[in-house]
Amino acid sequence: MNSPGIVVFDLDGTLVDTAPDLISALNYVLDREGLAPVPLQSARTMIGGGARRLIERALELEGRHASTDDISRLTKDFIDYYAAHIANESRPFEGLETALDELAVQGFRFAVCTNKLEFLSKLLLDQLGLSGRFAAICGADTFGISKPDPAILRQTVAQAGGQLSSAVMVGDGGPDVGVARRAGIPVIGVEFGYTEIPIAELKPDRLIGHMRELPAAVDSLARTVNIS
């Protein structure tokens, strides 16, 4: 293989359990609108489409209609609050750093491809001491496209100095499986993330229930599709 193997990760619900801080920010803007808070556990499945979509889904649950301008105002308030509290409770999923260490020893490089805004993604990973592990951290605004459009994945891999033929995607939901399928690369699904449809039903190429299982899953794919 002429380029290093690239493992590309989703962020929310894959690398980091961000739900507590995301839902805290959501409930902050809902409270300002006089709406009841959304319980953390039930709101976890609403995460994954970016801040604007999270707010839209919360308002839909309340049966509330909001104009485009209102949604934009609420999204700005959400982002301002979230940025100030981004790592209050968010933590990497157990076993992540050990898994990255094992894969790095094997020569893999890492990238992040998320529908979160780039500056929020970098801010979060900076505060958690993880940014330096990734050759590229790309969000929905980095290239002006979001998952499952395969262009975001192609450009993320390129920015990380790799090639699609040497890449594998790791994610927790439909946008991750969808972007990998459309880009023509294998995908590993994590069972501990945020998705309304169980990840197993989306039929990723491999399925893991803990980050300790990631190196073996990547190795298994490497043996069959030449990503190492």
**Dihedral through CA 47, CA 27, CA 32, CA 82, nearest 10?**
-70
Active site residue 17: no
Nearest to 54 by CA among 32, 36, 27, 81: 27
The answer to whether 156 and 179 are in contact (CB under 8 A) is no
Contact 1, 167 (CB under 8 A): no
CA atoms within 13 A on the CB side of 92: 18
Q: Which amino acid is at 44?
A: R
* Residues carrying an active site annotation: 10
